[in-house]
Amino acid sequence: MAYFARQDPLRAVAVPVIGLEAVITLAMFASWEFCRRKRLHRAVAIHFLFLALCFAPVGMASVAVLRAAPVDLTALVRARWFWPAAFLVGAAPLVWVCLRPLRASRLVRSVLLYSWPVLILVLVHAGRGTLLYPPSAYADGALAAPLSSTPGGTRVVWIIFDELSQTIAFGNRAAGMTLPNLDSLRAVSFYATAAESPSDRTETSLPSLILGEKVLQADPDRPDDLRIRLSSHAQPVPWSSLPNVFDAARDLGFNTAVVGWFHPYGRVLNRSLTKCFWTAGWLAPGVEEPSEARPLLEGMWDRVRLQFVAMPLIGHLPGVDPGEYQRHEKLPRFAFLSDRAREIVADPEIGLAFIHLPAPHPPAIYDRARGMFATEKRGSYLDNVALVDRELGILRRTMEEAGLWDRTAVLVSADHGWRTRLWRGTAVWTPEDEAASHQETMGVPFLLKLPGQTSGLVYEKRFNTVVTRGLITGILKGQLADAAAVEQSIEGAAPR
């Protein structure tokens, strides 16, 4: 997880977790001592209260066991029969607890007491992959020096909307859903209806697009190292060591910039970029980091909330929404990226700008009915598709106001489509998602507006968007002046 972390995990995660565990332990010890000295520990009600409070650590332990299992058990847990079966299995122990609360209380206390060595092992295991590096390892690397003299005329703004589905956005749009900015761009673009992404995972898809060669495997290593395996290399190599589309742009005399999320662009591709802004994605449960560094007490409170929403069945309680915290955390990250994207696309000194935004990737943070951001309730994937349209409109108006739209090639696509099998049954899934999901959703949109282009061309042949690097380089070289030339370039590209 060190590769995906934006902040030093020792300060952002480990210290708040250890502090919280210490507070909980001391509180339990003090409470038991108080009851013992007041002779309240003989009251049956006290033992029932203790056993009820143990639901929290037992729930957290069960979640930890599921995550640590050598096989993926999420599909099993999401099955309709799982919880009825779990209830039947747990009925006998529950009856025993009700009939023998004092004995059950002593047993649970003993288990908790002797679980400390297990907790220590868990903390050591969790820290092996993240706490081995100094805080400086999580800082961005030095950027490339700006080129003082850059070519005028054509520039490229490349926008990747994470998990945007061609079918949902264009092919079979939901009734009553309007996406005016996407439609307006499609009308004057080279528009492909059957584009395929290099992968269904951002870990491999984005490096493939940036390198122009399909990445077969990606293994996060150090904070600044993604080891990737390509068909052209027998052994895995660091992503940062390979020439990429930004290097090609700089060789042609263009300044480059990235605004993105998920991948640590500022640590991996910094040598190829003039400007770079990025945020982390939502890290795996247990190592989630806030969008910004927080004081210790606030960090501990974050861990309380995260542990609470991770407990089994908690989302079925009235008024409890496990995804609310994640939505609240996503909103400031999206706002930061949106602001930086506007800054970059309006900069005439940037010849190649890459924008990678976390929409419509779940969870939804937009309410299309009200036309505003919303985190207080669960939205659907369709709401976030509407957010994509809104953001595209903002970026277009920003370029128009800067006088750059007509001389900018704008490429809009996605790293992969909507992965319904991944999201179905999770806390972010809604009835509207279910209704829209019964179709092929893994295709990605591909819209390329060239400078000065005023009419569209629909391209219906299947191709892989790994050709994107070659198209961008061709545009910057002045070799692709119209949609027909784009079509010829795609059909002439050798599969890699």
Going from the C-alpha of 493 to that of each of 77, 160, 458, 486, the distances in angstroms are: 45, 21, 19, 11
DSSP state, residue 168? I
pLDDT in tens, 316-371: 566 667 778 889 899 999 999 999 999 999 999 999 999 999 999 999 999 999 99
**Phi, psi (degrees; rounded to nearest 5) at 218:** -135, 125
Whose tokens are 């509180």? That residue is: 27
Nearest Cα to Cα of residue 388 among 155, 178, 192, 156 = 178
Alpha carbons 313 and 310: distance in angstroms, whole number = 9
On the question of pLDDT at 277 being above 80, the answer is yes
Structural element, H or E, at residue 355: strand 350-357
On the question of pLDDT at 209 being above 80, the answer is yes
pLDDT in tens, 356-386: 999 999 999 999 999 999 988 889 999 999 9
On the question of pLDDT at 68 being above 60, the answer is no
Segments making up each domain of the chain, as ranges: 9-136, 144-492
Three-state SS at 163:
coil
Alpha carbons 165 and 438: distance in angstroms, whole number = 13
Q: What is the assigned CATH class of domain 144-492?
A: alpha beta
pLDDT in tens, 72-99: 666 666 666 776 777 787 788 888 888 8
pLDDT in tens, 396-423: 999 999 999 999 999 999 999 999 999 9
